[in-house]
Amino acid sequence: MSAGTLYDKVWDLHRVAELPGGSSQLFIGLHLIHEVTSPQAFAGLKDLGLSVRHPERTVATVDHIVPTTSQARPFADPLAEEMLATLEANCAAHGITLHGLGSGRQGIVHVIAPELGLTQPGMTVACGDSHTSTHGAFGAIAFGIGTSQVRDVLASQSLAMGKLRVRRIWVDGQLQPGVYAKDLVLHVIRTLGVKGGVGYAYEFAGPAIEALSMEERMTLCNMAIEGGARCGYVNPDRTTFDYLQGRPFAPSGEAWDRAVAWWSSLASGADAVFDDEVRFDAAAIAPTVTWGITPGQGIGVDETVPTLEQTEPDERPLAEEAYRYMDLQPGAPIAGTPVDVCFIGSCTNGRLSDLQAAAAVAKGRQVAPGIKAFVVPGSEQVAAAAEAEGLDQVFVAAGFEWREPGCSMCLAMNPDRLEGRQISASSSNRNFKGRQGSASGRTLLMSPAMVAAAAITGRVSDVRELLQA
């Protein structure tokens, strides 16, 4: 049983009580809501005659359903308009801050909470969205919840939860040029599987993790859930504190020093005990691409689609389903696979450094004929920062579309979607069947720089070759 880890310390601090059913009541420090998973929670609250216990600890934005072309109201889609109007009414009725369109602070919920300084080390963070694991990058314990639990947090600022085991994922070495946090996490999931993390929190640690920027750590923790781990985290350090200092909701003045002392005290100690540990060497990781229908079906860009013989027996039915659905041949190289659509954005890879990495590849080049390529900044702040350094112009000159912030084609609850059997190179997080809005659409997950390389060449390409050219 784990002891002395950040997870244990934060759990103990936030544990309110043991519940009769055997689970724990856990206090939630920060509750993030959006338009998709909250309306029924507010309705449930009303049915029970309850109010919001800590409206100041709940923060809202709108991201899933917003169009990324014109964001003028009312939206062309009446259902999308109804969802946003419902969120606005609920926030107004309960005194909850909503960072709405045009506020300068709107964006994907997992992009804006960190950039506003809302997400801080040592907090418990819950949101009705599985990619809430993103916030673990700050040394928070952050996890996705369902709508009934959103209702519970609104009503009580707490949840009924069971404690997870803790697996340390220790990464030695250093990522090579052209290899990014996205490749690292796809490699981890490829190795441990999409079910490997069920029942665990993942602590990411080691020299390669300490060297990551906060935005890279967010990419890593974002996809912990794709490996089955409901939360993933990195211990807070100087990189964390430097990122937070000066942000709107971060402490300042003398409170800052007290905050840093408290945050530092929560990191896993040298004597921390983990339930499990797995080691990786960052230097051995290549740009990684998925070929199948789960995020665990990934390979290095220089590898071939695994054959059945190369696949564990119990994974073979899924591999056969993936061959059929993706129309890729076992044993064939993944490099050179033609793509139709290239999408850069999402809560995984829609931050400034992601756009910078993609722009470095796109600069002075042209999107291949017939390819639809578009860039969706993760937030209004990301868009403004990117435009201030001219990244939008780099993309537009290269033939990419430059869009308004939102979740876009990661999950197709807005007008951005694949059509028919189109195949996308995507910087998002899920390659499930039908995920990007067409029931037969296909998704290849990769880093934003790799998506840019695919857009330029029209096919899956090793970005390292373009970076050297």
- Evaluate whether 121 touches 251 at the Cβ level (below 8 Å): no
Which of 7, 33, 34, 37 is in the footprint of other proteins by CB under 8 A? Answer: 37
For residue 342, list its beta bridge partners. 373, 425
CB count in 10 Å sphere of residue 86:
16
Is 31 a binding residue for other proteins by CB under 8 A? The answer is: no
Q: Identify residues 84-103 at the interface with other proteins (CB under 8 A).
A: 86
* Residue 55 interacting with other proteins (CB under 8 A): no
For the bound state, the minimum distance from the C-beta of residue 412 to other proteins, rounded and expressed in Å, comes to 5
Contacts of other proteins in 162-181 (CB under 8 A): 162
CA distance 458 to 425: 10
- The nearer residue to other proteins, 310 or 432, going by C-beta atoms, is 432
Task: Identify which of residues 149 and 381 has a Cβ nearer to other proteins in the complex.
Answer: 149
Q: How far is the CB of 25 from other proteins (least distance, A)?
A: 6
The three state secondary structure string of 127-180 is ECCHHHHHHHHHCCEEEECCHHHHHHHHHHCEEEECCCEEEEEEEECCCCCCCC
Q: Does 345 bind other proteins (CB under 8 A)?
A: no
- The first and second tokens of residue 187, run together, are 């490699």
Site for other proteins in 295-324 (CB under 8 A): 314-315, 317-318, 321
Binding part of the chain for other proteins, among 8-16, 368-376, 395-403, 442-450 by CB under 8 A, reads: 8-16
- Over the window 261 to 300, marking each residue x when it contacts other proteins by CB under 8 A and - when it does not, the resulting string is -x-------------------------------x------
Asked if 159 is part of the footprint of other proteins (rule: CB under 8 A), the reply reads yes
User: In the window 58-77, what residues touch other proteins (CB under 8 A)?
Assistant: 64-65, 77
Q: Which long-range contacts (CB under 8 A, 24 or more apart) does 112-116 make?
A: 112/61, 112/379, 112/381, 113/30, 113/32, 113/59, 114/138, 114/214, 114/218, 114/243, 115/247, 115/379, 115/381, 115/382, 116/247, 116/248, 116/249
- Number of residues binding to other proteins, judged by CB under 8 A: 84
Rounded to the nearest whole angstrom, what is the least distance from the CB of residue 269 to other proteins in the complex?
A: 20
Contact of 368 with 455, CB cutoff 8 Å: yes
- The site map against other proteins for 200-239 (x = CB under 8 A) is ----------------------------x-x---------
Q: Which stretch binds other proteins (CB under 8 A): 184-192, 193-201, 383-391, 393-401?
A: 193-201
Residue 124 bridge partners (DSSP): 141
- Rounded to whole angstroms, the Cα distance separating 90 from 51 reads 11
To the nearest whole angstrom, how small is the minimum distance from the Cβ of residue 18 to other proteins?
10
Instruction: Give the shortest CB-273-to-other proteins separation in angstroms.
Output: 22
Q: Which amino acid is at 80?
A: A
Span of 194-202, 271-279, 344-352, 447-455 interacting with other proteins by CB under 8 A: 194-202
Footprint (CB under 8 A) of other proteins, residues 394-423 = 411-413
Question: Of 8, 29, 205, 402, which one interacts with other proteins (CB under 8 A)?
Answer: 29
- As measured in angstroms, the least distance from the Cβ of 434 to other proteins is 5
Q: Residue 251 and residue 456: Cα distance in Å, rounded?
A: 44
Binding residues for other proteins restricted to 420-439, rule: CB under 8 A: 430, 432-435, 437, 439
**Alpha carbon distances (Å) from 89 to 79, 80, 94, 98:** 15, 14, 9, 10
| CA 179 – CA 300 distance, rounded (Å) | 11
25 binds other proteins (CB under 8 A): yes
Q: Which is nearer to other proteins, 162 or 207 (CB)?
A: 162
Q: How far is the CB of 352 from other proteins (least distance, A)?
A: 26
Query: Is residue 368 within 8 Å of residue 362, measured between CB atoms?
Result: no
182 interacts with other proteins by CB under 8 A: no
Q: Please state, in angstroms and rounded to a whole number, the distance separating the CA atoms of residues 183 and 223.
A: 11
Beta-bridge partner residues of 27:
158
**Least CB distance from residue 223 to other proteins, whole Å?**
12
Site for other proteins in 134-153 (CB under 8 A): 143-149, 151-152
**DSSP run (H or E) holding 407:** none
Nearest to 7 by CA among 206, 233, 278: 233
Sign of the CA dihedral running 210, 214, 215, 217: positive
103 is written with which tokens?
């506020």
| Window of 14-22, 233-241, 346-354, 449-457 that interacts with other proteins by CB under 8 A | 14-22
